[in-house]
Structure 1
Amino acid sequence: MPRTARIDIPGILHHVIVRGIERRVVFMDNSDRESFTARLARLLEQTGTDCLAWALMDNHFHLLLRTGPTKLATFMRRLLTGHAVTFNLRHGRVGHLFQNRYKSIVCEEEPYLLALVRYIHLNPLRAGAVGDMEELDRYPWSGHAVLMGNRELAGQQTEEILSRFGCKKAKARHAYRQFVADGIALGKRSELTGGGLRRSGSVAGKPESFDERILGGGEFIERIRGELSEPRPVGSLLPLDELINRIAVMCNVDSDALLRRTRVAGVAEARSIVCFVSVREMGYSGAEVARTLKMSRAGVTLAVARGAGLLASDSAIRDNIASKLAG
């Protein structure tokens, strides 16, 4: 039976699981792990990809990534090929290091983002690599230690996660840590890794739909399938400043107002539309949009969701923005 194609859309959250061929180890020692995390950090910054969570085990690893302009397939090819070549040279081996096909699950953010962060960061504890939360706080081979301030990884979006637990970093870390600890009793949640829960949901007037590549409700599944069925334009990206100007005209607001926080009527909605179009339609990274609009990375994520809602509920806005972007 032919394999289904992976879903590779800019701005989408992916839970990626990579295993060693025949369950063999892919990290023999800390030098392997250091080399891998250094390569991961470089690629995150070079490609504008966001990393929300990660954990390295002996024979597999988990990544929670939000893609930007670079496709997930390109990012993973560079990451896996680079590590495999380095690993084989260091350890005098030849041949494939990883299973031929890594698993990637597209995830709906709001119901699942924090659950996935917790699940991934508890992997070392569930596997016995550490004995308790105190050891996990200092375990250098997962993003949990980065969120706790005990390790650094360039490209990991710590602010986006911690901002969901509080405004002050110390209190946010405490609340985040408690959230992770509360997850220990939940055990292995197979629905987050490709088994168990059937990823489904019904949309008004339509039967339930299922897609093993997607973790989310029916409306999310339908939206993703819709994006897959509509080919994206080929060519260079519309410059971000030009995109902002066109949306400002469409929304009848001053384009300068979109570059700063303000309570002027209509500006917040226009900023949300800019975030949605630039990330989901044009393929810009959330970090680049955040810098341009002087927003936090977490703020861009929330604005993308608001923009999606605005465009989904008003066909006139959708048609208007399509004509403005095409012009």
Structure 2
Amino acid sequence: MVRPLRIEYPGAYYHVINRGQRQEAIFEDDRDRERFLLCLDRMAHLFGVRLHAYCLMTNHYHLILETPEANLSRAMQWFNVSYAVYYNRRHQYAGHLFQGRFKAILIEADTYLESLSRYIHLNPVRVGVVQQAWKYRWSSCRYFVTAAQPPNWLDIQRVLTGFGRSAKTQRKRYREYLRDSDPHIPSQDVVGGLLLGSETFMKWAKDTFLSTRKKDRQLPVLDRLRPRPALEDIVGQVARHWQVRKQHILKRGAKRNLPRDVAIYLAREMSGCSGQELGEYFGGITGAGIGVRCKHIEKMLATDRNLRRDIKNVRAAFANS
């Protein structure tokens, strides 16, 4: 088996996933799940890891974590072994609990942390376990949308900061964010099973960490990356669809400028640019301002069929190009 390529540096963010051997269960009951969370607590304190979201499913788990000390491999090795030893002893199980080494996707937090947290929290909804993500006991979602106090090893503010200033506003807006009827799926943007971020971020990661490992079997996938649409192309396509001039979209100040808000929404989704880059392109908007406009479109998509159709058609124009 080829050892998975790991990119580690201080302050890196990862989406970590691991599954049971042969897709079998890794939790038999709530006692197992409680022990799993205890292992997360211990890992956070032993290795200085920060957890930003988690979800425990029957045969796999999802984590969003940050490593201030560049020690992902050591921390996760300790974690997986600790839980597996407990599980095997309790259930008298012989063999490997997990299907192999954990999968870790390096993520650009400024661009993908919010949507990735939503993707993880909606796992129980997608499989029909619950209808509302925050009702699922074994994920971090309830801490994002209710006044429930999170454990000291879980940092929810890194995600919620972009949803408003007060805790009440943050919880309300994040709940609305979860209800988006057409959520972007971050896993569709993962490159080579390894990277999730803007073009700038991926170039930096390749140049910094991968350039000396040309013979690695995983790297050719990165080289086959299909270029993402440029910002001017996205604005142009939106302008053509709504039959307005590009300047109408790029000009700041106009109220109820739907084509502009749609262009910002699609640019964040499709271009891979950071919030700062988008803000500069669209006339000096702050990252928070970009988030507000995107959330406005997401809220409209929940009820406006025509807008869903329009955005789908714009996306299709790029898929067919």
Structure-2 residue corresponding to 1:321: none
Structure-1 residue corresponding to 2:208: 227
Shift in Å, 1:101:
2.1
Count of matched residue pairs: 213
Greater relative contact order, per chain length (Cα 8 Å cut-off, separation 6+):
1
Q: What stretches of structure 2 of length at least 5 have no aligned partner?
A: 213-274, 277-321
User: 1:7-156 to 2 correspondence within 5 Å?
Assistant: 7-130=7-130, 132-133=131-132, 136-147=133-144, 148-150=146-148, 152-156=150-154
User: 1:218-297 to 2 correspondence within 5 Å?
Assistant: 218-228=199-209
Q: Contact 1:49/1:70 (CA < 8 Å) preserved in 2?
A: no
Q: 1:92-136: per-residue Cα shift (whole Å, max 9, x none)?
A: 111100011221111112221100010001111112221x22xx3
Q: Contact 2:189/2:196 (CA < 8 Å) preserved in 1?
A: no
Percent identity for Structure 1 against Structure 2 = 33
Paired AA for residue 151 in structure 2: L
Q: Contact 1:138/1:150 (CA < 8 Å) preserved in 2?
A: no
User: 1:180-199 to 2 correspondence within 5 Å?
Assistant: 180-182=178-180, 184-186=181-183, 189=185, 191-192=186-187, 196-197=188-189, 199=191
Other structure's SS at 1:40 match: helix
| Aligned match for 2:170, one of 169, 172, 175 | 172
Other structure's SS at 2:35 match: helix
Shift in Å, 1:229:
5.9
Other structure's SS at 1:164 match: helix
Query: How far apart, CA to CA, are the structure 2 residues paired with 1:90 and 1:9?
Result: 36
Paired AA for residue 141 in structure 2: H
Q: Contact 1:40/1:79 (CA < 8 Å) preserved in 2?
A: yes
Query: How far apart, CA to CA, are the structure 2 residues paired with 1:46 and 1:70?
Result: 13
Other structure's SS at 1:14 match: strand
Q: 1:44-71: per-residue Cα shift (whole Å, max 9, x none)?
A: 1332211111100000000011111151
Normalized against structure 1, the TM-score is what?
0.60
Q: Contact 1:15/1:65 (CA < 8 Å) preserved in 2?
A: yes
Paired AA for residue 203 in structure 2: E
Distance 1:66 1:79, change over 3 A: same
Paired AA for residue 200 in structure 2: E
Distance 1:137 1:90, change over 3 A: same
Normalized against structure 2, the TM-score is what?
0.61
Structure-2 residue corresponding to 1:286: none
Other structure's SS at 1:104 match: strand
Query: How far apart, CA to CA, are the structure 2 residues paired with 1:7 and 1:66?
Result: 13
Q: Contact 1:146/1:153 (CA < 8 Å) preserved in 2?
A: no
Q: Contact 1:137/1:150 (CA < 8 Å) preserved in 2?
A: no
Q: Contact 1:48/1:70 (CA < 8 Å) preserved in 2?
A: no
Other structure's SS at 2:162 match: coil
Q: 1:252-310: per-residue Cα shift (whole Å, max 9, x none)?
A: xxxxxxxxxxxxxxxxxxxxxxxxxxxxxxxxxxxxxxxxxxxxxxxxxxxxx99xxxx
Structure-1 residue corresponding to 2:159: 161
Query: How far apart, CA to CA, are the structure 1 residues paired with 2:62 and 2:199?
Result: 25
